[in-house]
Every structure is written in C-alpha cells, then in structure tokens.
A = this chain, B = another copy of it.
Amino acid sequence: MDFELAKRLSQPNTTKIILCVMDGLGGLPREATWRSEMEQADIPNLDRLAKHAEVGLTVPVGPGITPGSGPGHLALFGYDPYVYDIGRGVLEAVGIDFELGPDDVAARGNFCTLADDGTISDRRAGRVATDISAKLVERLREIKLDGAEVLVEPVREHRFVLVLRGPGLGDAVSTTDPQRVGLTPIPAAGADVASQKTAALVNEFVAKAHAVLANAAPANGLVLRGFAKYPQLPQFPEIWGLRAAALAVYPMYRGLAKLAGMKALACPGGMEEQIRVVREKWDEFDYFFVHYKKTDAAGEDGDFERKCHALAEFDQYVPALLDLGADVLMIAGDHSTPALMAAHSWHPVPFLLHSRYCREGGAEHFNEQECLKGSLGRFPAVDVMPLAMAHAMRFEKYGA
C-alpha cells in the first residue's frame, strides 16, 4: 500500500507482531505420491494452527515471477518489489556483513577461466575452492586506482564482492559478463557522467586484475555485474510506526532487514536462540522478523526428505512461538523452493496469520492445497503488512 496512507492510518498501540519467514517454504508434489514437502512433513502444530487462523497463499512478486531473496523479503516487509529493486552488488555486500557507505559502489564478482585468446572458457573457474579464491582476493586488494579506493571481499567459491569507494561515483554501469562461454569479457559502460567515471575505474581494475591473475588458472580472469550503491529505502519503523527487530542467522537476511531500518539482533544459534532473544527484547520492539533458512537450503539442494525434516524441525518451535503471546503471529515464506526444481520458483507461498480477529476458512492443514481453501485466498505478498497492522489494531478507520 501507499506509504503515505500507511503513515496516516498507523496509530500507536502496545500490540506485538511476529513474522516468521520459512525461507523457500512452498514446494511441489512428487509424482510418486502426489504429495508436496509440506503435505508429507510431520507438522502437527502448524496444521492445528491453520484450522483457526487466516490462511492463504502469497504471490511474492507477480504471476510467473521467480523472486530472489531480496524482493521476496522486501514484499513481506511491505515494499513493492517492482519499485524497490536492490542491486545484486549491494545484496552480496550485505550478505557478508560488509558495511556500505554513501560513497561506495558495490559489484558482484565471479572468477572465471580465460583461454589463450582471451575468451571465457569457464564462467565459474571450475567453482574454484573458497580458500584459493580468498588468496586470489588478497592479490586483487593490491590493485590501486586513481580516484577510488579498491575494496575486495571473498564470498564463497568463485564469488567475491568488489567495492569502489570514492566521491562522485555512479552505479548505472553495465555488466562485464558476456553471460556465455567463448566470448571475451565486455568493457563496462556508464549511462551518465558519474557512472562513466565508475566504468572507467572498473575497466582499469579489470585490466590490472587480469595481469595479477595471469598465472592463477583456472581462476585467471573475472567478470563483474550488479553495480549498485546503497539504496535509500523508506524506513520500515517510520512507515508502520513499529520498532522492528530482525532475528536471522545468515548475514544476507540481517542485511536486508537493516536496509529496511530494522535492528538486527545477534542470534547465531538458530531457532532456539532466536526465540529466546525475542523474549528478552520483548519490551523494546513491536515487530519481530524471525528467519528460518533450512527449508530453502534443502529445497535448493533438491533434497525432498531433508526439506520435510526442516519443516518438521520448525514445527517443533511453534508452541514456543505461540507462548511468546504476540497479538499477531504470521508464518510465511519469501518464495517457494520446490525440491523437485532444486531452485527458487514462482509458485505462490503458503501463509498463515494467527490473531484474536481471525475468520476461519476451510483449511484443515498447512500446505499448498489446503491454503487454497483459506480465508485469505491468493494475494500479493505486499499486502501482508497492512493485514498485520489491521489484526494488531494499529490502523485507524479510513474515512468517516
């Protein structure tokens, strides 16, 4: 919804809202049984909750659109993912807890293998091992540019982050990745004066990097994409009038929450610790975003059984989540990650909202098929926040 309207309707209250995101929640049925992960998994607590909750399916971005983690979460926080598009470079930086400043342009980097004729023969340098990659990053850090500081951070395997730090840099810079083997890396180009300055620095960096990496085959080249500055998002606490905390183990989700203006609380130990920290910080915040990664990780690995186990593990924490006594408890997913596809997908995502003001639907369990019968039907994920505000009695009446 329009943020000005949200601010106008928002009214103070003492109610608490919890959003649990089970990453990659939705799945697909296996042909052998025609049961999805959620249908197969042993999740009695979620099933019980679904009967008297408002349930439905969220459409993360749009019909047929498979979201990345950024848009998937931002939509649940109330941001229209078509309007608020976080650059890949920023997401990678945020994902390794790198603090981006206002003079920084970040890019996602991949080591690649260059053939003798300068064309790319492997776009991921044989998925070079993380420790070797880290040593190569140290070599890249020695590169000096006139006009910007060069910061390079390893991520994992062939992936790294490049940050150029300097005044007057733009981020409308084209990729250097030709996206196919047999082609040479493309020179970066800028769409405006500030970005042309960045592009010139990028091209100088690439040339020096290729010299530095000459004897480092298979990782003797690199490509860069997703150039982006730290975005100025409207801040979640100001839009909704909620003091907001994020409880996530993985840096990328903490980073996303910080972009939105939430306070990221340390909880490396997983769900047990996340719930404990929510309880400890109960009085300091009105909204808690709790992130659970294992469902997505298993889905991405194409491991149907492990995804079922991840669902069952989360289910065991549901009584403790309910015990916290939030006025609104939501169980959602940022997107589907069917084990069958071993990847994110576009399919709508099961969603559940528990409060005192729930209207029942016909759902008897918490899964893709039963959520179709719920009182919320299929609806855009950006509508989750206004719904939560209403159930928390934090929106005043519209019009007389």
Contacts and interface: CB of A to CB of B under 8 A. Distances in A.
A25 to B, nearest CB: 13
Contacts of A373: 362, 372
Contacts of A91: 400
A69 interface: yes
A274 interface: no
Interface stretch (A212-220, A296-304, A306-314, A381-389): A381-389
A102 B395 CA distance: 33
A62 interface: yes
What bracket does the count of chain A residues touching chain B fall in?
Answer: 35 or more
Interface string A1-31: 1100100010000000000000000001100
**Protomer copies:** 2
Given A81-B398, A372-B377, A398-B81, A360 B65 contact: no
25 contacts: A1-B62, A1-B64, A1-B65, A9-B65, A61-B398, A62-B386, A63-B390, A64-B387, A64-B389, A65-B386, A65-B398, A66-B397, A67-B398, A68-B397, A69-B400, A81-B398, A81-B399, A344-B397, A346-B387, A346-B395, A359-B368, A360-B369, A362-B372, A372-B373, A377-B378
A158 interface: no
A71 interface: yes
A365 interface: no
Nearest to A356: B340
B71 A399 contact: yes
A379 interface: yes
Q: Which 4 A-B pairs have the closest CB atoms?
A: A64-B386, A64-B390, A63-B383, A71-B399
B400 A346 contact: no
Contact of A346 (B2, B28, B385, B390): B390
